[in-house]
Amino acid sequence: MAEKFLNLVGGKWVPAKSGEFFENRNPANWEELIGLFPKSGPEDVDAAVGAAKEAFRSWRLVPAPKRAEIIVRAGEILRARKEELARDMTREMGKVIAETRGDVQEAIDCAYFAAGEGRRLYGDTTPSELPDKMALSIRCPIGVAALITPWNFPMAIPSWKAFPALVAGNTIVLKPATETPLSSYHLFRVLEEAGMPPGVVNLVTGGGSSCGQPLAEHRDVGVVSFTGSSAVGKLLAQATGQSLKRLSLELGGKNAQVVMDDADIDLAIEGALWGAFGTTGQRCTATSRLILHRPIAAEFTRRLVAAAGQIAIGNGLDAGVQMGPTVSEKQRQTVHDYVEIGRKEGAKLLLGGASLTEGPHANGWFHQPTIFGDVTPGMRIAQEEIFGPVLSILTVDSFEEAIAVLNDTVYGLSSSIYTRDVNRAMRAIRDIEAGITYINGPTIGAEVHLPFGGVKETGNGHREASHTVLDIFTEWKSVYIDYSGRLQRAQIDNY
C-alpha cells in the first residue's frame, strides 16, 4: 500500500481536513505510485496561515543571524542527503538524475547565500539636513508569506522563495505543484530537522483552485510569491490587487538563442541542445526559438538535427539517458497539440513530432525531441510558450534583424547570442529585451547570486535570487532620530 504523506501545520504533520488524498505517480512509469498526498482545501489553508501568523509574533524578534543559522543547518542536511533527494525527485518529476542533483544543489547554494544575508540585510545611513539628527533606513519583515511553486524545479524554486523569506523574518506557507509534492515534503522535513520553530514553516498540498487561490487571497497573507504561467499570474494579480498585498510573479518565457556567422558552431550546437532539450524543454528559461544567421543556417540546422536525433530518451534514473518524460499525460498532450499547430502553420518538421508509446516508453509520458524549420516570427510556435521539447528555427539576414526577431514576443525572460565579435555582444546586451542575457552560452543555467526574472509578461518587476529577492520579502522603514532636544522642522527650519 502506498505511503500517505501529511501537511505540516503549526509544527504538526496532519491530514487534510477532508481526509482525502491525491496520487503522485512516476511520469516515466505511470504504474509506480510514489505516494498519496493531502487534498487540501480552504480550511487547511486557513489553519496553516493562522499558525504562521501566530509564529510570526516571535520569529520576527529572533535576530537575523540566528534565523540564518537554521538555514545553514538546512543546507548541510541537504548536502548530506543530495543523492537520495535527487533520486526521489527524478521519480516524481522525470528529469534525469544529473539534473535533479543540480536541482538539489541549487537549494544548497541558495541556503548558503540566503544565510549570508542574515548578517547583512543592509539599509542606508545618511546625513540629515538638520543638526543633531540621524537618518537611516532598515528592512522589516512583512508577515506571512504565501509561496506557490511549479513542478519543474520542485526543490530549487521553493528554496529560492523560502530561505530568503525566512532569513528576512517572515513565516511561510508553501503550496507546491500537485505533480511534485514529495520534494517539498522532503525540504520541509529538512527545515524541521534543522531546528525551525513550530509554525514558522507550513506546507499544504492540493490543487490551484482549492488550495492555491485561497492561500493567495487569504486576508492574513502579506506577500505572495508565485512561479508559473502568465495566464495564472494575471489572475493572481487581479485577486491580490483587491487587498493591495505584495505580489511577486515569475512567469513564462519564449527564449531565443541567436547564432551569428562568426560563432563557434560546435559550441553553439552544444548550447542549443542543452537549452532546448534539457529538462525535456520544461523550463521557463528553455530555448524555444533558435535564430540563425543565414550564412550558417543550413549547415547548423543539418548538424543540430543529426545531434538531436541521437538523444537517449528514457527513465531518468537509467545510465546513459539524456532526456526524460514530460511531467504528465496532460503536458505531453500540450506538446502534441503544438506540433500539430506548427504543421498547420506551414513550418517544416525536421525531427521528431511524435509521442513515444512502445517498448521501454510504453508506461511513461515520453515525447521525441522535435525541431521545426521554416518558422516565421508570427507563427504560434514562435510566439507561445510550449514547455516541452520543441525547437523552432528562424533564419535572419543581419544582426539587427536577429535582435528584432528575438524581441518580437510578449515575454522577456532569458536570451542568448553566440558571436566572437565583442561589439555585437555589447550591442546585444544593450538592445535585447530580457531579464537575462547569455553571451556564448545557452539560455538556461541561472546562478543563485544573480537576480532572476524577466520583463514584459514574464513578471511584474520583481527579481528572485541574489540580494534583490529581499525586496520581495521586506518592507522599508525610514527612521529619524532627533537628539537636539527641540522641535526641528525639515524643509522649514533649515532654510
Beta 474-482 vs 133-141: how paired, if at all?
antiparallel
Of residues 250, 385, 457, 464, which has the active-site annotation? Answer: 250
| Known catalytic membership, residue 250 | yes
C-alpha cell read off for 264: 563557434
Q: Which amino acid is residue 270, in one-letter code?
A: E
Closest CA to 299 of 329, 269, 326, 274: 269
Angle in degrees, CA 370, 376, 382, rounded to 5: 55
Q: Name the strands in the sheet holding 348-351, side by side, starting at the edge strand that comes first in the sequence.
A: 348-351, 370-373, 390-396, 287-293, 255-259, 414-418, 436-439
**Contact 247/236 with Cβ under 8 angstroms?**
yes
Of residues 110, 117, 217, 284, which has the active-site annotation? Answer: 284
Q: Is 54 helix (H, G, I), strand (E, B) or coil?
A: helix
d(CA 465, CA 451): 5
Q: Is 104 helix (H, G, I), strand (E, B) or coil?
A: helix
Closest CA to 281 of 249, 311, 302: 311
**Contact 311/272 with Cβ under 8 angstroms?**
no
Instruction: Indicate which residues carry an active-site annotation.
Output: 250, 284
